[in-house]
Amino acid sequence: MAEVTETLLVELNQVVSVDSIHLSQKLGISHQNIVGAIKSLQSLGDVIKVQEKQTKKWQLTDEGNMVLEKGSHEAVLFKAIPPEGILQSQLMASVPNAKVGFSKAMSAGWIAVDKNAEGGPRVTKKVESIEDIVQQCLEKISKLDLKDITDVQKNEFKKRKLITEIKQVSYSVSKGENFTTTVSKQQVDLTPEMISSGSWRTTQFKPFNFNALGVPAVTGHLHPLLKVREQFRQIFLEMGFTEMPTNNYVESSFWNFDALFQPQQHPARDEQDTFFMSEPATASAFPMDFLEKVKEVHSKGGYGSQGYRYDWKLEEAEKNILRTHTTAVSTRMLYKLAKEKEFRPVKYFSIDRVFRNENLDATHLAEFQQIEGVVADRGLTLGDLMGIINQFFQKLGMHRLRFKPAYNPYTEPSMEIFGYHDGLGKWVEIGNSGVFRPEMLLPMGLPEDVSVIAWGLSLERPTMIKYKLSNIRDLVGPKVNLKMVYDNPLCRLSPFLTSHHGLSSSSSVPQCLRDSKFVFIHNDSHCGPLRRPYDGPFRVVAPCDKTFRIMVGSREEVISADRLKPAYVDLTGPVTVAQPPRRGRPPLQQAEPTNQENAAELESSSPRQQSRSTRSARAVHLPPRFTSDDHKASAGGSSVASHSHN
């Protein structure tokens, strides 16, 4: 670059001004290097004056360069014709770009075609020799010699895509006020040698260009985990849950294990599964009355339990660990709830990190995020837990769920939650759930009739399912491809939507509906203000992808799946009488008959209707068409238990 700069100054010293393109052609130096030297001299101040110019330039295309090298298409085709001529089919097959060349050669009068020749049309030469004007013109254009090229030729070559017009930026350079032919090189960096020798005082430095733009920062891309985490959080908030504080990653073994009625000899408390803290190794601040009750229920039992019957040690409970689950936070919150003057139902949730000493594989990490939901109220059962889990996961757009009985030290009954992973092609455990044991709740001071249901799952596995990732290390860790983070769109969790809610029906039927033996049918848009929103329950004959075959009375009908909701039927209980649920204001109450005639008239004027009790202490109306003799139990009638998933 320094040599080009000096050459430019020498040339400019001999004339008033120079053009960058002409100088490039004269010196045989690329125009880009000439422009670089001009920009370098511009940064020195008033050494030179520069004026930018834009000119149009014709440039050969790739096809034009091929014509320049081998000749035009028509000339190549002409040379391929032997003196005796050639069949047109053979000529077209043997010459590249024969179609264009044949047309141009015919227009120029170079060739003739005998259509009546034996074997088919035959091509012969009409002239002995030709002059390839196209090739000659392209050679001049490549050398920027356009004085003999007409506009008609330019347009013809452009139409044939042999040349293209480009805009070229050039510079007119003239002498500045401080023009000189010798320019000292400006330094860019201040070096330690300049400082130690003092040469920086006389060194000329290149000024900073504060107007130069830096590399654009890559921002605005959320990791898939953050996207799904926020959607989980919004779902909890929509369901009326309150977020728990989860900022204590380090937890004592007492709150993480002992308060949850998990024995001290449990394998989960070994170093193979838990990360123990070395500093500080122990904790000492415990509510002593609660600690004594926990010790008692572990060692000797209580509250209807015989306990574990072992020597409970305070030293084990004092050990600090990296929490293995956020249930430790739930325990603290439930203890705080128990200390309130009057019990109040609560719904808590948390989403935060937990740590386990796991073997790393495609679906396991030593550090992951756990999602936990806790509901405390009077009279909660396993059915309530299954219902709220189904509702929760349907909002996530995950309809293929399975429950499997499991064992947890602090819940009874307990269930594992499985979801189907399309990428892995198998069922993957995505969570755990259960009803907290009395041995955990009663030592806190909660009322005996209060039940607490809870479930937990990792954040990573549902994210893998939604983004169709088969390896968790593609989602978290040092091997994550950042392009995946940049390119992934927002992943909207699509719940199962029904048309009678004013939304388009989904192509996926929830597993709870697919497994139902009985269903309710929505009355759709014909439902009046005092008419029931759902009829039924009706027996399912066969479920399909989008429709169900339903036995309605004595006939079989095909009903769209988006008009159905599950009805859980139990044909073993006693029959009770109750009115069906209605929309709008309740109907007017019938006055009690004043005599036997009025009673008989009332009984004869309305059909006998039966209702059957449900597990949730509600009643579901059974129309006469459903209460036929074949549905009645042999002893004591039948009952229908309904748990609405509406």
Question: Which of 197-211, 498-512, 534-548 holds the top average pLDDT?
Answer: 197-211
pLDDT confidence of 568, banded at 50, 70, 90?
low
Architecture of domain 225-248+326-487: 2-Layer Sandwich (3.30)
- The C-alpha angle with vertex 399 and arms to 396 and 401, in degrees rounded to 5, equals 110
Does residue 48 register a pLDDT over 80?
yes
CA–CA separation, 568 and 392 (whole Å): 19
* Bridge partners for 87 per DSSP: 122
Do residues 58 and 163 make contact, with C-beta atoms less than 8 angstroms apart? yes
Q: What is the chain's mean pLDDT, rounded?
A: 78
Encoded tokens for 429: 């455990």
Least confident of 133-142, 241-250, 297-306, 501-510: 501-510
- Write the CB contacts of 268 (distance below 8 Å, at least 6 apart in sequence): 257, 262, 274, 324
Q: State the pLDDT at residue 124.
A: 92
CA–CA separation, 551 and 529 (whole Å): 26
Do residues 468 and 422 make contact, with C-beta atoms less than 8 angstroms apart? yes
Do residues 311 and 317 make contact, with C-beta atoms less than 8 angstroms apart? no
Q: What H or E segment, with its residue span, contains residue 505?
A: none
Q: State the pLDDT at residue 612.
A: 40
pLDDT digits (tens, 9 = 90+) for 108-122: 899 999 988 888 899
What secondary structure does DSSP assign to 539-599, as a single string?
EEEEE-SSEEEEEETTEEEEEEGGGEEEE---TTS-EE--PPP-SSSPPPPPPPPSSHHHH
Q: What percent of the chain has pLDDT over 70?
A: 81
pLDDT confidence of 178, banded at 50, 70, 90?
confident
- Name the more confident of 520 and 351: 351
pLDDT digits (tens, 9 = 90+) for 63-75: 999 999 999 999 9
CA–CA separation, 10 and 564 (whole Å): 90
pLDDT confidence of 623, banded at 50, 70, 90?
very low
pLDDT confidence of 1, banded at 50, 70, 90?
low
CA–CA separation, 305 and 408 (whole Å): 16
CA–CA separation, 126 and 114 (whole Å): 12
Does residue 528 register a pLDDT over 50?
no
- Write the CB contacts of 579 (distance below 8 Å, at least 6 apart in sequence): 611, 619, 621
- What would the mean pLDDT of 261-281 be, rounded to a whole number? 81
Question: Which of 167-181, 247-261, 557-571 holds the top average pLDDT?
Answer: 247-261
Residue 357 burial (CB count, 10 A): 14
Question: Which of 149-163, 416-430, 564-578 holds the top average pLDDT?
Answer: 149-163
Q: State the pLDDT at residue 376.
A: 93
Does residue 501 register a pLDDT over 60?
no
Does residue 634 register a pLDDT over 60?
no
Does residue 643 register a pLDDT over 70?
no
Residues in the chain: 646
Query: For strand 346-355 and strand 242-243, is the pairing parallel, antiparallel, or unpaired?
Result: parallel
pLDDT confidence of 463, banded at 50, 70, 90?
confident
Q: State the pLDDT at residue 490.
A: 55
The SS3 call for residue 339 is coil
Does residue 460 register a pLDDT over 90?
no
Q: What H or E segment, with its residue span, contains residue 612?
A: strand 610-613
Does residue 508 register a pLDDT over 80?
no
The SS3 call for residue 115 is coil
The SS3 call for residue 357 is coil
User: CATH 3.30.930.10 residue ranges in the chain?
Assistant: 225-248+326-487
Q: State the pLDDT at residue 333.
A: 92
Q: State the pLDDT at residue 519.
A: 84
pTM: 0.47
pLDDT confidence of 436, banded at 50, 70, 90?
very high
Beta strand segments in 356-500, E:
367-378, 401-408, 411-421, 426-436, 450-458
- Name the more confident of 480 and 441: 441
CA–CA separation, 525 and 520 (whole Å): 16
